[in-house]
Amino acid sequence: MENSLTDQEIEKFNRLYDHAYALVAQLIILDNQNEVKKLGFFARLKIKRCIKLLEKALTIYPDSWQSMLMTAKAHQRLGHTEHAISWLEKAHAQSPENNRLAKEIGMRATQLGKPTLAIDCLSDLAKRHTKDAEVHISLGCAYLLCQDLHPAKEAFNQALLVEPTNPNHEKLVALVNYVIAGKIPCPTSHEEIFNHTQPPQIKEK
């Protein structure tokens, strides 16, 4: 944390951040876990309270990409897509060389329908981390949503090379091959990509 902050400011920032985290640890998507259950009224209030606390924390320490990322996650969970994307972009701009952050933002940007941001975050990361299958899958999905089919195929093939026994990777390679062959339309959302992998249903001509 910035040396310009006083001990009192650091303590206040940590208290706000920790409180925000505690409110939503079981409600928002953390550390690539699967989507949690549907939100009820009081759960939504907790997430909104979390956002307010993080806003206060950021007035103390505006450079906290961790606070920006959690704010994005909170907005994503509430269905506030544009706000979520905006906070992801801010977090990436604050720490563009942070590999862990780039991976997280890339994954979420694809889910939120912002594949160009995902490609911006993940393309260099994939070159440096050739054995990280998750990075290649997220990058492939982003390219697929941009209808950039051959880079998508290359990314999915790289993931399969890293994890050759993973059936989901095989399905994604098959999916992009079907799209390239014109047998099925190109998916237009993250959900469509993974619905298609059940596997693609092809109508005979």
Distance CA 135, CA 123 (A): 9
Least confident range of 78-82, 96-100, 114-118: 96-100
The residues near 97 (Cβ < 8 Å, ≥ 6 apart) are none
Here the tokens at position 85 are 């994307």
Q: Please state the pTM of the whole predicted model.
A: 0.80
Q: Could you report the per-residue pLDDT of 159-186, keeping only the tens digit for each?
A: 999 999 999 999 999 999 999 999 999 9
Which amino acid is it at 77? R
Nearest residue to 64 via CA among 102, 91, 88: 91
70 has a pLDDT exceeding 90: yes
User: Mind listing the pLDDT tens digit for each residue in 130-165?
Assistant: 999 999 999 999 999 999 999 999 999 999 999 999
The two tokens of residue 102 are 């780039």
